[in-house]
Structure 1
Amino acid sequence: MKNITPIIISCLLLGATHSHSQTVRLGQYELEAVSVSLAQERVKGKNTVKAVKDSVVKAVDEPTFIKVIGTDFKNGIIEVKVLSRLLKNAPEFARGFIGIAFRINDSNTKYESIYVRPTNARAEDQVRRNHTIQYYAYPDYKFDRLRKEAPERYESYTDMTLNQWITMRIEVKDTQAKLFINKHQQPSLVVNDLKHGAAHSGAIGLWVDIGTEGYFTDLKIIKQD
């Protein structure tokens, strides 16, 4: 995989500082910038990692993420606060794409992902609203194929907007994934047929796509059997 830059974040703490917290200290992990730029910034009172997709990657729904090394995740819970802004040179179709990739293999050629399009949530066009949340599986099941073959099954709506913290919590069990947004008690998206099946595990990634200035903080990972 091209454009991979290993970076050690030695001082950044994402989440609470008390010892019993389930928050992951990224200082204990090596971070790989996979086809994104990676930086540290303080945003709205929080220490964050910032990701911007490399401009050389023209296709969408690609492995463009900050890979959290050492997170061999199969089943459990991934929670992170995300905030996205549009870059000044973002194309018209940019939506503030930001989300989570999981079960990423070693070569970054196979994984599952759920992401959000914050600008869609408050569009006047109801069809766009229905496309606020998206699941896809790399490499064979990107959004356009899923939308064509199974309309509405892998997308849904929940209110959100740009430049505000959105808590994404994904609960994964074998071939099922549920996405919860903010403090909602019910999932905003349920995927019952993860395309790569239940057998594999892999790393977690903090994902962005074209036109997005993405920020991540308060990462929590809970592994389950």
Structure 2
Amino acid sequence: MSPKQLLCAMTILAAGCSSIGEDRRVQTYPLDSLKDLKLIAMTGKVETFKGKTAVRIGNHTFDLGHLAVVNGAHLRNGTIDVDIASQPNPGAPIGVDGFAGVFFRAVNDENVFGGFSSYEYFYLRATDGRAKDKETAGHVVQYASFPKFPWFWLRQQWPGKYEAHANGVDVAVWTHMKIQIHERQAKFFVGDMKEPCLVVNDLKQEPTDGPVGFWVGTDSEAWFANLVITPE
């Protein structure tokens, strides 16, 4: 092989190695277009909300929550960062708290509604951020796992273990959300906190690489901006 041919071969090999490593690189989504999302039983549009370009997603049903899948996004272990603001829909009944958050490690199943048989998720209850009583204030951040471990079952069986208080969460106010995931453990951060407000050491699903996206709960709407997914 001539020196020129050797150089060409090395260049091609380097390019191939680079492409192989793509899946482990940071995935950044400015969320300035709906093209990055697959909405499941939800409405969506792009708008500027309180200084940030964001996707606005609404759930107008009275069920446990609907999904917006981020096209091409997936993760087993790593960190998810996103800016989020949420509120109850106009006219929503008392008890609807502007539920919105992030799901991850979804398991594909085309035979079920939404295309996923299970997923893990963390979310915020925006109106509980205003609560004066300690019990309600302790419900601001919630972990749950679809379909076997909804929030009400987790609260009934293990009160206070899978939810927590977080300062700075309010209705229709931007909040930075960060989730650090490693195998069966997840740490949840809100705002600029250095220590997590909630640590879950027993995520309910088997760890697996899976799709990532946004979750919006009963009769709520939310804005999402600046999504960054960093694999471990």
Q: What is the TM-score of this pair, normalised by structure 2?
A: 0.81
Determine if contact 1:137/1:196 at 8 Å carries over to the other structure: yes
Q: In structure 2, how many angstroms separate the alpha carbons of the residues matched to 1:29 and 1:177?
A: 29
Shift of 1:39: 1.1
Q: Among the aligned pairs, what percent are the same residue? A: 32
Asked if structure 2 preserves the Cα contact closer than 8 Å seen for 1:89 and 1:211, the reply is no
Distance in 2 separating the partners of 1:28 and 1:220:
16
Q: Output one character per residue of 1:27-61: Cα deviation in whole Å (capped at 9) or x when no partner.
A: 69642101211111111121110111142xx322x
Pairing 1:1-225 to 2, within 5 Å after superposition: 23-26=28-31, 30-55=36-61, 58-60=62-64, 62=65, 64-106=66-108, 107-159=115-167, 160-198=169-207, 200-224=208-232
Q: CA RMSD in A?
A: 1.9
Q: Give distance in 2, aligned partners of 1:210 and 1:156.
A: 20
Q: Higher helix share goes to which structure?
A: 2
Q: Which runs of 5+ in 2 are unaligned?
A: 1-25, 109-114
Residue-by-residue CA offset, 1:107-161 (whole Å, 9 max, x unaligned): 2221000001121122122111111110000000000110111111001001211
Distance 1:28 1:111 in 2: 22
Q: Determine the C-alpha separation between the residues in 1 that align with 2:42 and 2:117.
A: 16
- Number of residues of Structure 1 aligned to a counterpart in Structure 2: 200
Shift of 1:67: 0.4
Letter in 1 for 2:76: K
Q: Structure 1 residue 85: deviation in Å? A: 2.2
CA radius of gyration, larger in: 2
- In the superposition, the TM-score normalised over structure 1's length comes to 0.83
Amino acid at match of 1:190: V
What is the rounded CA distance, in whole Å, between the counterparts of 2:29 and 2:40 in structure 1?
A: 20
Structure 1 unaligned regions, length at least 5:
1-20
